[in-house]
Structure 1
Amino acid sequence: MSTNTRKTAAKQPKRASRADGAATRLHLLNIAGQVFAERGFADATSKEICERAGTPMASVNYHFGSREALYEAALVEAHRQIVGLDELEALIAGLSDPREKLRAVLSRFVGLSTSASTPWGFMVMLREVLSPSASIPALIEKAVRPKATFILGLIGEVLGLNPKAPAVQRAVMFAVLPCVAMMVAPKQMQASLLPAVVKDKDALAEDFVRFVTAGLDALAIAYRSDNRR
């Protein structure tokens, strides 16, 4: 066996080990997300997570450093499960009209609020909203801010204003927060009180887009001749 062949053979187990480690880390993250969704951060223990994952007790510390760091990673993943930045960027790929871009994004947001699928990320985020943890700053920087920047840029385009303008920031709240409210509202309550909404999801998305764009049109007109931004 040549020297190069021996070196290649020696490296193969290390590559396999790294792959196994990455798979174990991902598995732990997924199980932890389910446990955090069921119990919340305060009541979820590393012991239960490892037992349900079928991994050694030291796995949480080995792969994440601490239970707190595992929860932080689960929060970031939860936000990605709801909607990822790569997904948002894909929605507007090939579109040049800012309004069409906004339509695609808002329709997706409304679709999320009416989806029957509920990955563990939804419950983890809901628990975090109701009882914020010390991981909020990390969640903002790693998951929320990049998507907020994306949405600010998009609505800034529609309004013809700098994305950093106060008017754009307010417009993002008007456009996005109703979607968040629809996401967290119990599906049973929606079906009982507003049955027409549940029956025609496409009409809900279309009317919501009309509602938001009409409001943005009014803001654009108001700020064209107004020095306030």
Structure 2
Amino acid sequence: MNKPARGLRSDGEATKTRILEAAGELFATTGYAETPNKAIAALAQVDLASLNYHFGNRSGLYQAVLTESYGQVLGLANLKQLVGSELAPASKLRALIEQLVGHATQEPQAWQLRVLAREMLAPTSHLQTLFQNEAQPKVALLRRMLSEITQIPAEDPALTRCLLCVIAPCLMLLVGGRSFPGPLQEVFQMSSQAIASHLYHFAMGGLGAISREYAKQAKTSSKPGSPTTR
């Protein structure tokens, strides 16, 4: 009795995956607004009803595509494993940057990256949902990683600025890609190892400077008569 049910579930998951892949490819090529459901169904070789059955509606399908895209670039499970590993804090950051640069420089560029690029360059209401559901837990882990390097408390605003400065160059590579005009073209002529090494050393230099400045300010504010101790 159980074998047919397992078969149905297996077929259902395969169909859902085909729809997700088809939608991802088309959204990456023509955009969310310009991609008709009929084109997705045709590419996935399903009927229109299957789209709503597996994803609720068109909006649910696009949100699933964004979630899949973001998870491919920076998976929560992998990030948890990296942050919780026994690697030295600086080595964790290097591994993260190498991973992100590897995604950005892969050829051909995966549809996941192209979908994220479109969404970030022309944001829809789905981007806020993606951040609330997917990004916030990862931001907390990244803050923890940088806190280990700088000794700045994870909740301190200074660490937020550090996080933006470290991640922004990687995001630019991911979103811009090889087809983006301007200086990125020159950067992509370098090997992925050279790019990652440069971004890592640049990040560590900045983090070191901020860490020293933070420690200096903390020491000054702890002296008797300082504004924060009055």
Note whether the superposition's TM-score is higher than 0.5.
yes
Give 1:85's aligned amino acid: L
| Structure 2 portions without partners, runs of 5+ | 222-230
2:212 paired with 1:207: no
Give 1:29's aligned amino acid: L
1:67 maps to: 58
**Could you tell me how far 1:141 is from its partner in structure 2?**
2.2
**Could you tell me how far 1:93 is from its partner in structure 2?**
6.0
Q: Give the structure-1-normalised TM-score.
A: 0.86
203-212 vs 82-91, greater mean Cα deviation: 82-91
2:83–2:145 CA contact under 8 A, matched in 1:
no
**Could you tell me how far 1:23 is from its partner in structure 2?**
1.3
2:173–2:184 CA contact under 8 A, matched in 1:
no
1:33 maps to: 24
1:166 maps to: 157
2:62 paired with 1:81: no
2:168 maps to: 177
2:90 maps to: 99
1:6 maps to: none
Secondary structure of the corresponding residue to residue 16 of structure 2: helix
Q: Aligned to 2:186, which of 194, 207, 212?
A: 194
Once residues 153 and 208 of structure 1 are traced to their aligned partners in structure 2, the CA distance between those partners, rounded to angstroms, is 19
State the Cα RMSD in Å. Answer: 2.2
2:153–2:159 CA contact under 8 A, matched in 1:
yes
Once residues 98 and 47 of structure 1 are traced to their aligned partners in structure 2, the CA distance between those partners, rounded to angstroms, is 49
1:127 maps to: 118
**Could you tell me how far 1:177 is from its partner in structure 2?**
0.3
Give 2:63's aligned amino acid: E
Give 2:174's aligned amino acid: M
Q: Aligned to 2:209, which of 213, 218, 222?
A: 218
Q: Give the structure-2-normalised TM-score.
A: 0.86
65-74 vs 79-88, greater mean Cα deviation: 79-88
**Could you tell me how far 1:192 is from its partner in structure 2?**
8.8
1:28–1:60 CA contact under 8 A, matched in 2:
yes
1:92–1:105 CA contact under 8 A, matched in 2:
no
1:24 maps to: 15
**Alpha-carbon displacement from aligned partner over 1:146-169 (angstroms, at most 9, x marks no partner):** 222221110111111221210110
